[in-house]
């Protein structure tokens, strides 16, 4: 008889995959924008879809203990007065998303840009100190 390691939360992973299959845009509709994280030799790059931002004061970016948090508010300037709304799928309101970064980043030199509804955050990697060989004294 083969022993299998017990993974108490494995079923949650499967439930999440099934949920995403049936409701692919669920997170986005409840204020959790999707984020892509990629890494190069010198930096970590986060790309986040945030359509509907109107000014830079509507988005906040924080890095604390290697966790990137993007939050803010999406406002729609045009109201539909005198019209009957049949369907509303575009998100309006507060959003927040926090993700762990794959490498240690430096808080200095972080750059963010927003173009065509996409926010890109470039986080330079923290430079690690060069290895130093310690000489051992023998007596």
d(CA 50, CA 44): 19
Q: Which of 122, 120, 125 is nearest to 111 (CA)?
A: 122
Other residues' Cβ atoms within 10 Å of the Cβ of residue 3: 5
| Confidence (pLDDT) at 107 | 85
d(CA 139, CA 133): 19
Fold assignment, 31-76+90-127? Immunoglobulin-like (2.60.40)
| Confidence (pLDDT) at 93 | 81
Other residues' Cβ atoms within 10 Å of the Cβ of residue 105: 19
* Pair 71, 33: CB distance under 8 Å: no
| 61-71: pLDDT as tens digits | 999 988 999 99
Distances from the Cα of 21 to the Cαs of 11, 14, 25, 48, in angstroms?
15, 11, 9, 21
Q: Which of 68, 60, 59, 61 is nearest to 105 (CA)?
A: 68
Look up residue 138 and give its DSSP letter.
-
Asked if residue 11 has pLDDT above 80, the reply is: no
| 97-131: pLDDT as tens digits | 999 999 999 888 999 999 998 999 999 998 776 66
* Rg value, the chain, Cα: 22
Element (H, E) at 19: helix 10-22
């Amino acid at each position: 008889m083969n022993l299998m390691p017990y993974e108490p939360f494995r079923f949650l992973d499967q439930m999440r995959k099934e949920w995403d299959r049936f409701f692919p845009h669920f997170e986005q509709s409840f204020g959790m924008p999707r984020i892509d994280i990629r890494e190069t030799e010198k930096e970590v790059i986060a790309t986040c879809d945030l359509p509907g931002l109107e000014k830079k004061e509507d988005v906040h970016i924080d890095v604390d203990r290697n966790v990137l948090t993007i939050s803010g508010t999406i406002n729609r300037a045009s109201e539909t007065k005198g019209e009957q709304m049949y369907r509303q799928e575009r998100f309006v309101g507060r959003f927040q998303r926090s993700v762990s970064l794959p490498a240690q980043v430096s808080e200095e030199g972080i750059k963010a840009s927003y173009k065509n509804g996409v926010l890109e955050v470039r986080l330079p990697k923290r430079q690690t100190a060069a290895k130093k060989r310690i000489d051992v004294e023998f007596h």
